[in-house]
Chains A and B, each alone.
Chain A
C-alpha cells in the first residue's frame, strides 16, 4: 500500500452515506445534452428537484431561495454554470470548457429545468463531462447525463467524488 500523504482537499462529496439517504426521493438530477441541427446549437437541459435546488441555494447563503422568483432561478443557473462543464478532448485530456450560455430556467411541476446552449457549426465528436450539480449540498446526490447526437443515447453517472468523464458520441 502506498500512502499518498500529500495535501488532501476535503471535497464536495466523498462517500455516499449508506442509510443516510432520505427515506424517499433520492437526490438525483438528469441532464440531456443534444444537438439541434435546426438552430445549430448544442442544447443542455438540466432537470433538478426544485426543493433540493432551493435547499442547496439556501445552504449557499441565499435568504429567499424560492424558485418562483427570478433571482433564485438566476442564482441557480449561475450555480449550474459553475458545477457543470463540457469540454472537447485535447491530447487525451479535457480541453478548455465549452462556453455554454445560460438560456434560462423554468419550473416544471416539482422540478426546475435549467437551459444552456452553445452555438456551433456541428456537434462534437467526443466530449468530456463534469457534473457536480448539488453535490456540495448533498453528499448522496447522483447526477446522470444522457448525451444523444443522433447515434443513440449514451449515459454517464456522477456520484461520490467523480470528476471528468469521457464519452464518444459517434
Chain B
C-alpha cells in the first residue's frame, strides 16, 4: 500500500511563511469580478436586517420588543347532518405596537375553497409537451376521477366564510372588505398604541370533506358505519399578525405557507350532538355537564397513571357510534396564551389519557390524551399517548417545560398530520383484511404513527410556543421540529424503524442536494420547490450536523436552548435564530448559515493527494545509511543474482579478492569527510533555536504528511478524518471548516505523526452529507453502489426474484385491479370513447 504514496525524501523546508493579508475590502460581493475566488466566510451581518430596539444584534428580543394580542370568546354550533358550522364570537384586540392602526386585517382561511380564490384559480395543469400516442391529444390534457369528483363537489356546494355581521361593542356595523383569504375591517376611530378594541363577528361555513377536497380540517365520512368524524381548524376569523419586521402579514393563504398568528386567551363553547366526544385546544371547563360520573372518575385515575387509561373504551365507542341521539350538549374550553384554537368532535371516539409529570412549578402535570375511532385500533391505544409523553420528555430538555395543561393526538385521517396548540391531528391506521376482518398494522404504519405524533406534538413547541412566521419561513418550524423529531426517534429506540439500516440524515439528503432545481432554504414558503426536502429534511440535517460535527453537543444544546427560551411566546425571525446560535455558543457559524441556508451548494470533498516526508537531520552519518536502506527497499534485487547465490555460485571478485578496491568498500551512500565538514559548517551557521529544533526532530523521528483536499461540491465543511497507521491502529480527528478560508476549492493540511500513516479517510461515519465517497480515501478504495450492496444480500434477492416470477405468472390473463386515478374515457357527443389505457 505504501507504494501508492508519493514519497519525497529530503528537506522539508523549515521556513517562514509570510502571508500577505492586504486584500482590499470589496463593497459587498462574495464572488469577485476578477478571478474566481469566493468568500465563503463572509460575515452575515451585512445581509441580515439591521438590529434595533425590538430585535438585538445578539438575536434576543430587544428592550422594546412588542407583539399584538387577540383574546377570543366564541360560541359555535356544529350541524353534523348539514356538515355546517355556525358561530358568533368577540375578539379583543390589543395594540401593543408603537403604531396607530386605522384598520385591522383578519385571516379567512376557509375562503381558499371559494370558486374565485387565488389558490383555486391558480391551480395549474402542466403539460409534458408532445402528443399522446394513439389519440393525437396533447399529453397535458388529462383528468382524474378524483379531480372530476372534486370539481363536481365545488359545483354543488358553496364553501368559504359566510360573514353574517361585523359589529363594534355597541352593535354598530363595522365596514369590512374581503380580499381573497383576508378581511380588512375599517375602524371608526384609529386604534392608538396601548389601546384595545373589542368587536363581534357572526359567521358560518360549509365543512369540506377532507378526503375529497383536501386541506387541514373538515370531516371524514366512514361508509361502513355511516358515521362522521369532524376536525375543525382555521374555522374562525383569526387576526392577521402585525409585526415590527413585516407590518401586516396578509399574504394570501395558498395552501402551503402556513399561518402567522397572535397569542391570546380563548373561551370557546362548542354545541355538538349529545353522543359526541370533543377534543379541543384548552381545558374542559364543564366536565360535570358533558361527561358521565364514570368518565370523570377514569379521567382522575389517568392523571396519576403511568400508562394510558381508557376514558371511553373501544367497546363503548362502538356502541356510541350506533346511537342517533337528537339531544345536544355544549362543551366549554378555556385556553391561556395560545396562538390558535382547534377541535375535533365525533361519536366514534375512543379516548385514553395519561398524566405526564414534569419538573416545573408552574405546570407540574400535563394530561396527555388520544382520541381515535375503532378503525385506528389496535395501533393507536398502544402508541399514540405514549408517543405524546415521549415527545414532551425529549423536547423539554432542548427548550423549556411543556407550556400547556393538555397535549392531545387525534386520529383524523389516513396519513399526514397537523398541529395546533395542545391538539394535533394525526394519520396512520392499520389495514383490515377483507377476508378475515382482522386488523393488522405494518411496521411502516407503527413507526409512521410514532413519528407523526412526535412531529405534531413537537410543533406545540415550534411554532405554537416559539411563534415563528410560518407564512414566510417554513423551515423555522418544520426544519427545527424535524431535527428534534429525529433526536426523539433515536431516543425512542435505537435504529428507530430503520429495519436493516440506521437512518442517517446526512446520507439521505445527498440526492436532493445534488439536484439542479433547488432553491435556498431561505425562500418564502409558497415559492418552494421540493417542499419536504427543502424545508424539512435539509434544515433538519443541517442542524444535526451542527450539533454532532460542527459545534458539538454541549455548545449546540446550550445555544439552542437559549434561542428557545428567548423566543418562547414571542415571534423570532431567521436572523434571531442565526444570531442566537452564535451569540450563546461563541462559534462563528456565518459560513454555515450561508452555505446551508442561502445557497444550493452541496457537499463533495475529495482527498486528492497525500505526500509523506521525514525531516532531514542533515547529518550524513544518519541520512546516507537511511538513503541506502531505502534504495534497497525500493529497488528489488535482481532474481538472477538471488538464484546465483542460492546455487552457491561464487562471483569472481569473491574468488579473487585482489580485484577489490575503494569502490567495492564505498558505494555512493558512503559518508565522506567532505560530507562531515559541510554538515558541521551547516550546524555552525544555524541560530541556536534552529539548532534545537533540528536536534528535537532528530530525536522524535516524526513523519510529516501533506494532505490535499479538493472541494468539488461548493459547500465548505469541516473535515472529519480517520488516519490508519502501519501498525493497524487508527486515529479520528477533525479539521475545522476554516481550513477553506483562503481558498474555498483547494486546501492542504500538514500532519505530523510519530508513526507511519498508511491511509487517510474523510467522513468515515457519513456525518457531513458528502455526496460521493469514491474519492474520500487515499489510497483510493472502491465504494460499491447501493445496487451492488443490495445484490450481496443473496437470500433477500432470491425471495424477491421468486415472488416476481410468481406475480408475473399470475398477472397474465388477469386484469389489473381497479386503481383510483385510472383514466376514464371522455368523448364528445357522437364519438365513441376510446379504450382506457396508457401507451
Which residues from chain A sit less than 8 Å from chain B, CB to CB?
4-26, 28, 30, 32, 34, 36, 38-39, 41, 43, 45, 47, 50-52, 54-55, 58-68, 70-71, 73-75, 77-78, 93, 102-111, 113, 115, 117, 132, 135-137, 139, 142, 144, 146, 148, 153-155, 157-165
Contact = CB atoms under 8 A, between A and B. Distances in A.
A6 B824 contact: no
A140 to B, nearest CB: 8
B255 A30 contact: no
A153 B820 CA distance: 34
Given A7-B825, A9-B825, A103 B804 contact: no
B81 interface: no
Given A59-B820, A137-B821, A154 B516 contact: yes
Contacts of B148: 10
Contacts of B120: 18-19
B145 A10 contact: yes
Interface string B102-130: 00000000001100000110111111111
B819 A137 contact: yes
A20 to B, nearest CB: 2
A16 B123 contact: yes
Nearest to A78: B807
Nearest to B832: A7
15 contacts: A5-B828, A7-B137, A7-B826, A14-B143, A14-B147, A22-B415, A23-B425, A24-B418, A55-B414, A59-B820, A70-B799, A108-B508, A159-B126, A160-B140, A161-B126
- Top 8 closest A-B pairs, CB basis? A20-B214, A11-B142, A61-B817, A66-B442, A22-B416, A19-B255, A109-B503, A10-B824
Contacts of B425: 23
Interface string B147-175: 11010000000000000000000000000
A106 B833 CA distance: 41
A61 to B, nearest CB: 3
B499 A107 contact: yes
A102 B807 CA distance: 13
B434 A63 contact: yes
B12 to A, nearest CB: 37
Interface in B769-801: 782, 785-788, 790-791, 793, 796-797, 799-801
Nearest to B526: A18
A9 B836 contact: yes
Nearest to B820: A59
B49 interface: no
Contact of A153 (B113, B119, B445, B514): B514
A18 B181 CA distance: 14
Contacts of A4: 137-138, 141
A69 to B, nearest CB: 8
B444 A64 contact: no
A75 B804 CA distance: 8
Contact of B136 (A6, A55, A148): A6
A45 B791 CA distance: 13
A61 B826 contact: no
Contact of B113 (A19, A30, A54, A158): A19
B834 interface: yes
B130 A10 contact: no
Contact of B511 (A32, A70, A137, A158): A32
Contacts of B226: none
A63 B123 contact: no
B788 A39 contact: yes
Contacts of A164: 128, 130, 139
Interface in B439-453: 440-445, 447-448, 451-452
Contacts of A16: 123-124
B796 A23 contact: no
B827 interface: yes
Nearest to A77: B804
A7 B431 contact: no
B808 interface: yes
Given A24-B478, A25-B416, A136-B821, 11 more contacts: A5-B828, A6-B136, A7-B831, A10-B826, A11-B823, A12-B822, A13-B144, A43-B785, A64-B433, A66-B431, A161-B125
B804 A68 contact: no
A36 B838 CA distance: 31
Interface string B459-503: 000000000000000000010000000000000000011111101
B246 interface: no
A18 B431 contact: no
Contacts of A6: 135-137, 828, 831
B812 interface: no
B787 A103 contact: yes
B455 interface: yes
A15 B130 contact: no
A24 B417 CA distance: 6
B790 A103 contact: yes
Nearest to A132: B838
A59 B443 CA distance: 19
A28 B517 CA distance: 14
Most buried by B among A39, A104, A107: A104
A74 B150 contact: no
B829 to A, nearest CB: 9
Contact of B147 (A15, A28, A75): A15
A38 to B, nearest CB: 7
B112 A19 contact: yes
Interface stretch (B527-535, B665-673, B693-701): B527-535
B500 A7 contact: no
Contacts of B122: 18
A161 B137 CA distance: 12
A19 B111 CA distance: 11
Given A8-B141, A155-B517, A20 B831 contact: no
B455 A104 contact: no
B139 A163 contact: yes
B147 A17 contact: yes
B821 A135 contact: yes
Contact of A64 (B119, B431, B828): B431
B146 to A, nearest CB: 6
Nearest to B217: A23
A45 B531 CA distance: 21
Contacts of B819: 59-61, 136-137
Contact of B800 (A17, A61, A73, A110): A73
Contacts of A65: 431, 442
A41 B443 CA distance: 33
A62 to B, nearest CB: 8
B820 A10 contact: no
Contacts of A14: 125, 141-144, 147
B416 A66 contact: no
Contacts of A58: 431
Contact of A63 (B433, B834, B838): B433
A30 B511 contact: yes
A50 B444 contact: yes
Contact of A51 (B150, B444, B833): B444
A144 to B, nearest CB: 6
Residue among A107, A117, A165 with the most chain B CB within 10 A? A107
Given A17-B214, A103-B790, A139-B821, A7 B828 contact: yes
